[in-house]
Structure 1
């Protein structure tokens, strides 16, 4: 099957699934996704990310280029040590790409800023529909920027491609009618609403520290406040400037566990929070400064460790298969497990809502998550 035939098949599949709208179908049909992928790609077809070389496996490589799967194109910020620990650049799953473009609702005449150029494929789709003069794309990684610029030009697209800090937006071409991020964030940068016209739209994945993640669609008002709902769950690589690495456990707990912690018991299995995307996301929105680690023990048991970013409080909860109650240890001025349990109770009482009932309000002073309406904040 030729690349053109594969592209046509992808358009048909995305359309049939209801993901690809009529206004974006011509762009997906016209832009060759394979032209934006490097010689070696990594794709998870069910057994973890496996490498595929175009020169060694041309048929498989082309099939994967047009599969409805995410494609990893860089590991560990480009470190050339062969370790391949963390994927740090990719071509997103086509379904996710077109659904986010539908959320963006960009139309001819709109000026658009993309944060996270990646391979350049998404910028090419925007350019095909809106025109090169209406699209700017910012990428923090110099190597990724250069490769995307070359791929875009090779495919006949010339949007403005900038190597820079996407958290700062790109004020040179502001204001924008639309801003779209292809990397996830914990907090929407204040520069984005400030660089968006009144009535303009911002679409971005959001990944709270405690876990879960979803795409938010914000509309900016005349005062620079952005507000809107989450539209769908998501899993994207983090904006490099907002990656978080927690402090060592010894900074929270000098000496041996359980230290000065208070013991209690809970009927809520921490796995019911950490292993349920919607529950985890709801708790994470309510507790934006709490994160977790976990370690296994015994026959399938897990100890869940909770920490606050201020390095003042910690908690552990032991999840033991088959038990009806679970040991809790908490230390510090905050009782972190109690806070998680309260957030989970609120989620349960609200009917176990999915991400679509939650939203964000972003002001120059920060952001607030809410349930159903902005006047019902979670914090």
Structure 2
């Protein structure tokens, strides 16, 4: 059976994720024109090489799967999966749903942050949009230009090599901004370079977990802020400028003997309660409730797990907590100015008491202040955060 662009368009139509007017676009733009010869489907992370097995490669290209196209910022060259996936061809259904949120119409100026293979930019160009796309990796930017030119979109998409968090003022103001990398802090440039009423669609999340949620922001008339709801649980590779920075969360600043100053407690919650699965809302909600916190779950075989929590220094020093879950009752150790586990536990009870609302009940308001600083204010209905005040009733060291 021969597969191709029409096969993918039909698949997305059956899944009911194709926006109105986009079926012909997906049928027109061949994903294979943008995907490199070597790919790692992220559900297997086993290399598929077009030269060795063209049929398997083609089936993967026209499936609804994300395809890793680069590891370790291009330093990886082997056949095995690398350490960190740093570029990919997004899952087509996720791309389609985010294009639905974007609502881009012919003639609109669109800024894309994260060119990757160029496939998404090609779809927008085929839709009739005027596209400026920014890619931080020079090799990926060059290859995307080649892909777009070969597919017939070279004159319709301008690919800029640079830092996407800075936008591209010369091409604005933009009617739409599409971001294809995970964001932790919305840059002021995106709002300032958007037209009043423009839509910005981006994957947004916190350092509590690696997952993201698609966020649909509408820019205000004064172009000093934007607000909107979360629409879709997903996961994207993070902007290179916004990957979790261990130095912010302690690094060498945390003393090796922190356990000597830690306070011990226990909990009625379990590991799964506060970690959840890949698209479980609990991790995302806890990240909203417990700001400036990096969470790292560690499994110990089938017998137990530890959830490590690291609190950034926001003026009173770093904090750390370790929640150990095993056969016996959980053991919690906390040290530093914040009681990170107590914040997580209180936030979980807040979420549970409200019937465990999904990500669709939450949103984000972004405001650019006079000095260019961006304030991000999560909300739940009419309630704004913090929902649970940070717990810090002892000094950073000692038992004071």
Length-normalised TM-score, structure 1 = 0.93
Is the counterpart of residue 173 in structure 1 residue 174 in structure 2?
Answer: no
Matching residue within 358, 361, 365 for 2:365? 361
* Distance in 2 between residues matched to 1:130 and 1:349, nearest whole Å: 47
Change (3 A) 1:371 1:255: same
* Distance in 2 between residues matched to 1:94 and 1:10, nearest whole Å: 8
Counterpart of 2:82 in structure 1 is 84
Deviation at 1:135, TM superposition (A): 0.8
Higher mean Cα deviation, 175-184 or 342-351?
A: 342-351
CA contact (8 A) 2:266 2:332 kept: yes
Counterpart of 1:231 in structure 2 is 231
Matching residue within 287, 290, 294 for 1:287? 290
User: Per-residue displacement from partner, 1:3-39 (whole Å, max 9, x unpaired)?
Assistant: xx43212211211211012311111000010010111
Counterpart of 2:385 in structure 1 is 377
**Structure 1 residues without counterparts, runs of 5 or longer:** none
Deviation at 1:298, TM superposition (A): 7.3
CA contact (8 A) 2:319 2:338 kept: yes
Counterpart of 2:395 in structure 1 is none
CA contact (8 A) 2:4 2:30 kept: no
User: Per-residue displacement from partner, 1:120-172 (whole Å, max 9, x unpaired)?
Assistant: 000000000124xx111000000000000000000000211100100011111
Deviation at 1:378, TM superposition (A): 3.6
Deviation at 1:288, TM superposition (A): 2.7
Higher mean Cα deviation, 145-154 or 255-264?
A: 255-264
* Distance in 2 between residues matched to 1:259 and 1:253, nearest whole Å: 12
Counterpart of 1:56 in structure 2 is 52
* Distance in 1 between residues matched to 2:76 and 2:86, nearest whole Å: 13
Counterpart of 1:117 in structure 2 is 115
Counterpart of 1:216 in structure 2 is 215
* Distance in 2 between residues matched to 1:161 and 1:336, nearest whole Å: 43
Aligned residues: 370
Counterpart of 1:268 in structure 2 is 269
Deviation at 1:251, TM superposition (A): 3.4
CA contact (8 A) 1:139 1:163 kept: yes
- SS of corresponding position for 1:21: coil
Matching residue within 23, 30, 38 for 2:36? 38
CA contact (8 A) 1:252 1:314 kept: no
RMSD: 1.8
* Distance in 1 between residues matched to 2:258 and 2:20, nearest whole Å: 59
* Distance in 2 between residues matched to 1:186 and 1:317, nearest whole Å: 25
Length-normalised TM-score, structure 2 = 0.88
Is the counterpart of residue 307 in structure 1 residue 310 in structure 2?
Answer: yes
CA contact (8 A) 2:165 2:187 kept: yes
Counterpart of 1:129 in structure 2 is 127
* Distance in 1 between residues matched to 2:77 and 2:6, nearest whole Å: 38
**Structure 2 residues without counterparts, runs of 5 or longer:** 369-373, 388-400
* Counterpart mapping for 1:230-269 below 5 A: 230-247=230-247, 251=252, 253-256=254-257, 258-269=259-270
Change (3 A) 1:249 1:181: closer
